Amino acid sequence: VQLVESGGGLVQPGGSLRLSCAASGSIFSMNVMGWYRQAPGKERELVARITSIGFTNYEDSVKGRFSIARDNAKNTVYLQMNSLKPEDTAVYYCNLHTRDMNYWGKGTLVTVSS
């Protein structure tokens, strides 16, 4: 299984970005796809995740600002990030969890700065 992220970059506070992650390979239909992030000097943390039937959960600090969605036909997960704050600056990693296996993308950098 391979995960390829795209959509990171530099954005001003209050701005928006949309991350995408395309999964390829042998993927079991029942899975959870999600986004994690790791800021400098901090541990990796869950941002949001979505099951194959659409149940979602979010880290408290992003509720109301971020939205996760997926396209099962394309094995792709999206993260729409609005009202971005400097503290959202991090490397964002795509994750796929299935059959007790975890797969990770290489990460995409999101920098929120004026």
C-beta separation of 112 from 86 below 8 A: yes
The pLDDT, as a whole number, for residue 84 is 98
The pLDDT, as a whole number, for residue 45 is 97
What pLDDT digit, counting tens, does each position of 4-42 carry?
A: 999 999 999 999 999 999 999 888 788 999 999 999 999
The pLDDT, as a whole number, for residue 99 is 87
Q: What CA–CA distance (Å, rounded) separates 78 from 112?
A: 19
User: pLDDT category, 93, cuts 50, 70, 90?
Assistant: very high
Residue of 27 and 105 predicted with greater confidence: 105
The pLDDT, as a whole number, for residue 54 is 94
Whose CA is closest to 24, among 105, 79, 93? 105
pLDDT average, residue stretch 97-112:
95
C-beta separation of 20 from 6 below 8 A: yes
The tokens describing 37, both together, are 């992030």
